[in-house]
């Protein structure tokens, strides 16, 4: 997600030896400065970062470790606002009311859905979404589709004024004990008075705990400028940067917190509901420096995986009973974790692998599509027991799935091999094999001794 930035920091760190001289430090910081500017980090932020890091490193003695620590310290400082909330915080008295605001097309509605999904799945909260965008005809319908997909309740009424709908929603939330109310508002093409007034009225009624400004990361420094204006005119408590998966160079994320004076709270990196990341500064610093973010990964996994179900599945794998139904179920679970690329980026040393994998969409990969088509043509018994599949059955399945028999045979063989491998790995000594493999993979990246 922060490929460009991570590369910049890693390169700079690589330029300095364990013990080194000021010339090497200068060389490293000069290069870092150049690459940060290129990544669209604001020049004032870059200047401040470089001079602090130089000063601090010199103070403690020029060398790799001291440089690393100085960089880490300054980055944390840049990304943090003292006393401001990190990630999502809940009001002391529920419901926590959140107003989503921003320019047209910035991603408010999508992000409202993502946030609802995050709160429901990861925080186990009861969430109510409110459609207070009555400017655009299809807006309510868009939100209806999103909320029904993620199974979250919605309050909408095409014929009422935004502030009336908000009022009704808050009453409902109070009565029915919702934990969080997320209000999606109308977008503005530019900052105009009429719409600002509407927002002010909605704000008055909603009395929100949080005002999230949703900005498109692809607009670069414009995202920062509009956030500043919204902060002055309406007041905001946080920023969410969307479309980070595009060709965003990531620099906006680095400077934004200091420039706007409110923290960056979330990052959207994809069009699907799980593609939202909390922006928690200490964790992000680790990721920026190539050390991964195991904490966030563990949280995501814990939320998506039901421990009882996981245990049952392990038993099946151990006994070699993993079948097609299990496969489909596991695919569903994977979907909840979000994109493969963002997951890999959280594992120390896997940043480069994430880059290679790019936007691999597991769910829509050809292999998975073939398996899904085949499973759809199987009888329930065949799904439970892949061993039943003789030639007659395979021919029928191939015809039903629109595949030829060679393809069906290949997929079946792969599936059986995978099940066998999983059985082997789950047996005695299997865990050790796995760990050795992980160790080997981690060897290339990360920074030993990096405090977390």
Ligand X SMILES: Nc1nc2c(ncn2[C@@H]2O[C@H](COP(=O)(O)OP(=O)(O)OP(=O)(O)O)[C@@H](O)[C@H]2O)c(=O)[nH]1
Q: Which is nearer to ligand X, 145 or 433 (CB)?
A: 145
Q: How far is the CB of 35 from ligand X (least distance, A)?
A: 24
Q: Which is nearer to Mg ion, 57 or 109 (CB)?
A: 109
Q: From the list Mg ion, ligand X, none, which binds 248 (C-beta under 5 to 8 Å, kind-based)?
A: none
Q: From the list Mg ion, ligand X, none, which binds 242 (C-beta under 5 to 8 Å, kind-based)?
A: ligand X
Q: How far is the CB of 139 from Mg ion (least distance, A)?
A: 5
Q: Which is nearer to Mg ion, 106 or 258 (CB)?
A: 106
Q: From the list Mg ion, ligand X, none, which binds 341 (C-beta under 5 to 8 Å, kind-based)?
A: none
Where does this chain bind ligand X (CB under 6 A)?
Answer: 102, 104-110, 133, 136, 139, 187, 242-243, 245-246, 268-271
Residues 6 or more apart whose Cβ sits within 8 Å of residue 233: 191, 196
Distances (CA, A) of 134 to 33, 36, 350: 45, 41, 44
Q: Which is nearer to ligand X, 227 or 371 (CB)?
A: 227
The helix/strand/coil state of 429 is: coil
CA neighbours closer than 13 Å in the CB half-sphere of residue 448 = 5
Where does this chain bind Mg ion (CB under 5 A)?
Answer: 108-109
Answer for the pair 286, 79: CB distance below 8 angstroms, yes or no: no
Answer for the pair 238, 85: CB distance below 8 angstroms, yes or no: yes
Q: Which is nearer to Mg ion, 104 or 409 (CB)?
A: 104
Q: Which is nearer to ligand X, 242 or 426 (CB)?
A: 242
Q: Which is nearer to ligand X, 70 or 267 (CB)?
A: 267
- Where are the strands (E) in 262-364, listed by range? 264-268, 276-278
Q: From the list ligand X, Mg ion, none, which binds 250 (C-beta under 5 to 8 Å, kind-based)?
A: none
How many Cβ atoms sit within 10 Å of the Cβ of residue 104? 14
Q: In which order are the strands placed within the sheet that holds 96-101?
A: 153-155, 127-132, 180-185, 96-101, 210-216, 238-242, 264-268, 276-278
Q: How far is the CB of 247 from Mg ion (least distance, A)?
A: 23
Q: From the list ligand X, Mg ion, none, which binds 104 (C-beta under 5 to 8 Å, kind-based)?
A: ligand X
SS3 labels along 122-182: CCCCCEEEEEECCCCCCHHHHHHHHHHHHCCEEECCCCCCHHHHHHHHHHHHHHCCCCEEE
Q: From the list ligand X, Mg ion, none, which binds 221 (C-beta under 5 to 8 Å, kind-based)?
A: none
Q: How far is the CB of 158 from ligand X (least distance, A)?
A: 15
Cis peptide before 11 (omega within 30 of 0): no
Q: With 0-12 CB in 10 A as exposed, 13-18 as middle and 19+ as buried, what is 268?
A: buried
Distances (CA, A) of 381 to 393, 399, 416: 12, 18, 17
Q: Which is nearer to ligand X, 223 or 269 (CB)?
A: 269
Q: From the list ligand X, Mg ion, none, which binds 66 (C-beta under 5 to 8 Å, kind-based)?
A: none
* Bridge partners of residue 180, in order along the sequence: 96, 127
Q: How far is the CB of 143 from Mg ion (least distance, A)?
A: 7
Q: Which is nearer to ligand X, 142 or 409 (CB)?
A: 142
Q: From the list ligand X, Mg ion, none, which binds 243 (C-beta under 5 to 8 Å, kind-based)?
A: ligand X
Q: How far is the CB of 183 from ligand X (least distance, A)?
A: 12
Rounded to whole angstroms, the Cα distance separating 285 from 331 reads 31
- Residue closest to Mg ion when measured from CB atoms: 109
Q: From the list Mg ion, ligand X, none, which binds 125 (C-beta under 5 to 8 Å, kind-based)?
A: none
Q: How far is the CB of 355 from ligand X (least distance, A)?
A: 17
Q: How far is the CB of 122 from Mg ion (least distance, A)?
A: 23
Q: How far is the CB of 271 from ligand X (least distance, A)?
A: 4
Q: How many residues does the chain have?
A: 452
């Amino acid at each position: 997600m922060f490929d460009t930035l991570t590369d910049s920091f890693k390169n700079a760190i690589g330029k300095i030896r364990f013990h080194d001289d000021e010339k090497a430090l200068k060389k490293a910081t000069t290069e870092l400065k150049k690459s940060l500017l290129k990544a669209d980090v604001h020049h004032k932020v870059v200047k401040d970062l470089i001079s602090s890091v130089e000063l601090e490193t010199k103070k403690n003695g020029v060398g790799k470790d001291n440089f690393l620590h100085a960089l880490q310290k300054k980055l944390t400082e840049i990304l943090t606002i003292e006393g401001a909330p990190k990630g999502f915080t809940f009001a002391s008295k529920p419901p926590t009311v959140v107003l989503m605001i921003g320019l047209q097309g910035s991603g408010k509605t999508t992000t409202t859905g993502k946030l609802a999904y995050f709160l429901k799945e990861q925080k186990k909260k009861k969430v109510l979404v409110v459609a207070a965008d009555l400017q655009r005809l299809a807006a309510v319908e868009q939100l209806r589709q999103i909320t029904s997909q993620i199974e979250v309740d919605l309050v909408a009424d095409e014929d009422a004024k935004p502030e009336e709908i908000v009022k009704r929603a808050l009453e409902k939330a109070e009565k029915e004990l919702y934990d969080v109310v997320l209000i999606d508002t109308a977008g503005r093409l530019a900052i105009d008075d009429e719409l600002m007034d509407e927002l002010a009225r909605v704000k008055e009624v909603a009395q929100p705990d949080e005002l999230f400004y949703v900005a498109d990361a692809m607009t670069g420094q414009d995202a920062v400028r509009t956030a500043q204006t919204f902060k002055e005119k309406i007041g905001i408590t946080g920023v969410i940067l969307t479309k980070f998966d595009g060709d965003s160079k990531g620099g906006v994320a680095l400077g934004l917190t200091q420039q706007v004076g409110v923290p960056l709270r979330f990052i959207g990196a994809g069009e699907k509901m799980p593609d939202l990341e909390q922006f928690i500064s200490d964790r992000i610093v680790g990721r920026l420096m190539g050390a991964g973010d195991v904490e966030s990964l563990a949280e995501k996994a814990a939320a998506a995986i039901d421990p009882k179900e996981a245990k049952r599945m392990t038993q099946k794998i151990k006994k070699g009973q993993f079948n097609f139904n299990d496969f489909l179920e596991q695919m569903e679970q994977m979907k909840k974790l979000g994109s493969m690329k963002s997951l890999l980026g959280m594992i120390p040393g896997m940043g480069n692998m994430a880059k290679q994998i790019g936007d691999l969409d597991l769910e829509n990969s050809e292999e998975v599509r073939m398996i899904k088509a085949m499973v759809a043509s199987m009888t329930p018994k065949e799904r439970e027991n892949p061993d039943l599949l003789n030639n007659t059955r395979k021919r029928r399945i191939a015809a039903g799935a629109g595949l030829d028999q060679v393809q069906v045979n290949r997929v079946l063989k792969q599936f059986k091999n995978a099940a066998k491998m999983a059985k082997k790995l789950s047996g005695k000594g299997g865990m050790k094999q796995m760990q050795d493999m992980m160790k080997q993979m981690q060897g290339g990246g990360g920074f030993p001794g990096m405090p977390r």
